[in-house]
Amino acid sequence: MPSGVRTPGLEELRALASRLGLRLSDAELASYRGLMGGVLNAYRRVEEIAPSAPAVKYPRAPGWKPAPQENPFNGWYRRTEIKGAERGPLAGKRIAVKDGICVAGVPMMAGSRVLEGFTPDVDATVITRLLDAGATIAGKANCEDCSFTGSGHSCASGPVRNPHRPTHSPGGSSNGSAVVIAAGDVEMALGADQGGSIRIPAAWSGVVGLKPSYGLVPYTGAMVMEMTLDHIGPMADRVENIARLLSVMAGPDSLDPRQRGVLPANHVRDYLPALGQSVKGLRIGLLKEGFSLEPNEALGLPGGEPVVDRKVRAALKELGTRGAIVDEISVPMHRDGTCIWLAIHVEGPAEVIKSNGLGSGWQGWYNTALAEGFAKGFRARADDLSHTVKLVLLIGEYMRQQHHGLYYAMGQNLRTSLRQAYDEVFKSYDLIAMPTVPFRATPLPAPDCSIEDYVAFGLNMIHNTGQFDVTGHPAISVPCGMEDGLPIGLMLVGRHFEDMTVIRAADAVERIADWRTM
């Protein structure tokens, strides 16, 4: 808890006024200082009556730091053995949790030195639901520093490595979750996705990852990045386990405002019936703008690999032989969607970081313990943040000072237009398909690489993913092939809250053949 609110001295108040651009006389400062008393007393009373954190239902120990031989790819941050209910749909299932999601009593670092030493006092809502369903929490999986990188090299615990080729990136930011599945340690894990952080590591590590419809899965108890982009979703070794996890996690949580007015009362509760269904008559649009990508020099994005396009098209052609209707379609705004996402994803999270990971102006449960831990760490160790996070902070601060949030607002105002561009396709098609990432996993950068290379390797794979965090459509990455030992992912996007359909189609892709031979 906070250490208590004190009344500022006159010199402290003078400095505060100066930072706000106010020129106040000594007499005015004294008046304002006196007037602050009543408000500060209200703050003190709020501290006295503040409710305790939500109760923790299941006993646990803080776990242990795995030895290198237990953790050859650095996928794990912490190993645990937290057992849930004796019975339930996840009984006997061991699940890893991205380290940006709170598990009470277990140290949490979120891939960043600024949180080193912090231990949450609450379970995220999704953790309680998994434990109520009989799951065992097998540990916290490493992730990128504050989840701001799509590679594997910014994790403060050391680089996270691709089990298929340890010199290469596993994708990010939920890389540890993907890696411990790919390595065979667990069958299922939780990830979080604000710009592709579930789907990118799924594609590069050869696992399945679903970013659900915005608002379907509660985010309460996870580290906030940007309220309008935040998603928690399942990652797994196969589509069946995606359906199993989603069935347990989905549903309303009164503490999460992301769901309010968004989640329909008739949302699907059980996603297992999507498995083994025919794709006959399913209409799939191959998004022209998601394939054959040329380098985008303006955004610093490399071009795609022909082998990725070829493998993705081959899998979709195979669905066509099974009765799906597969046509090429065009959404010209798709490529501008990356720019819209960046306008939101830089300034929004920069402000959240400055507010110690809380943000403001929303009705829900605020994780005050996490905010206090982040505030202390940020004051003491801001220089230890990754280059990517520092860049986000610098751009965010620059844009706020020079343009007063107008470009963030423009990006948010374009959200509806981008959503409508895809929804126009969904009038005629059930799904939109494209490569998750237009090229295979890249090598991890050298530890002494330049700042330019550090950032480039962390953000060069975002061509096709961030758009659907902006629009909220469900999007799944499923392995559809391998080339030279590196996996390739196919992304399927569906209508809002038709997550059942994307799971159905992903399951059909999985049934074509072992993706390692495709």
User: Is the sign of the CA dihedral 452, 177, 229, 120 positive or negative?
Assistant: negative
- Give the type of residue at 62: P
Q: Are 235 and 203 in contact (CB under 8 A)?
A: no
Crossing angle for the helix pair 387-403 and 406-425, nearest 10 degrees? 110
Catalytic residue among 197, 247, 386, 477, which? 197
Query: Cα separation of 475 and 212, whole Å?
Result: 7
Query: Cα separation of 141 and 170, whole Å?
Result: 13
Q: Are 165 and 487 in contact (CB under 8 A)?
A: no
Residue listed under structure tokens 């809380």? 358
Q: Are 196 and 438 in contact (CB under 8 A)?
A: no
Tokens of 58: 């299941």
How does DSSP classify residue 69?
Answer: G
Report strand pairing: 486-494 vs 431-435.
Answer: antiparallel
Tokens of 244: 């199993």
417 part of the active site: no
Query: Cα separation of 322 and 508, whole Å?
Result: 9
Catalytic residue among 93, 98, 140, 311, which? 98
Query: Cα separation of 467 and 342, whole Å?
Result: 9
- Give the type of residue at 331: V
Query: Cα separation of 500 and 322, whole Å?
Result: 19
Tokens of 485: 């030992």
Q: Are 201 and 319 in contact (CB under 8 A)?
A: no
Query: Cα separation of 419 and 327, whole Å?
Result: 21
- Give the type of residue at 508: A
Helix (H) or strand (E) run with residue 487 in it: strand 486-494
Going through 271-317 in order, the beta strands assigned E by DSSP cover 283-287
247 part of the active site: no
Q: Are 251 and 212 in contact (CB under 8 A)?
A: no
Helix (H) or strand (E) run with residue 209 in it: strand 208-211
Catalytic residue among 173, 213, 386, 477, which? 173
User: Which H, E and C letters describe 445-460, residue by residue?
Assistant: CCCCCCHHHHHHHHHC
Tokens of 385: 């943040």
173 part of the active site: yes
Query: Cα separation of 508 and 517, whole Å?
Result: 16
Q: Are 191 and 233 in contact (CB under 8 A)?
A: yes
What φ, ψ does residue 190 adopt, rounded to 5°? -105, 140
Which are the catalytic amino acids?
A: 98, 173, 197
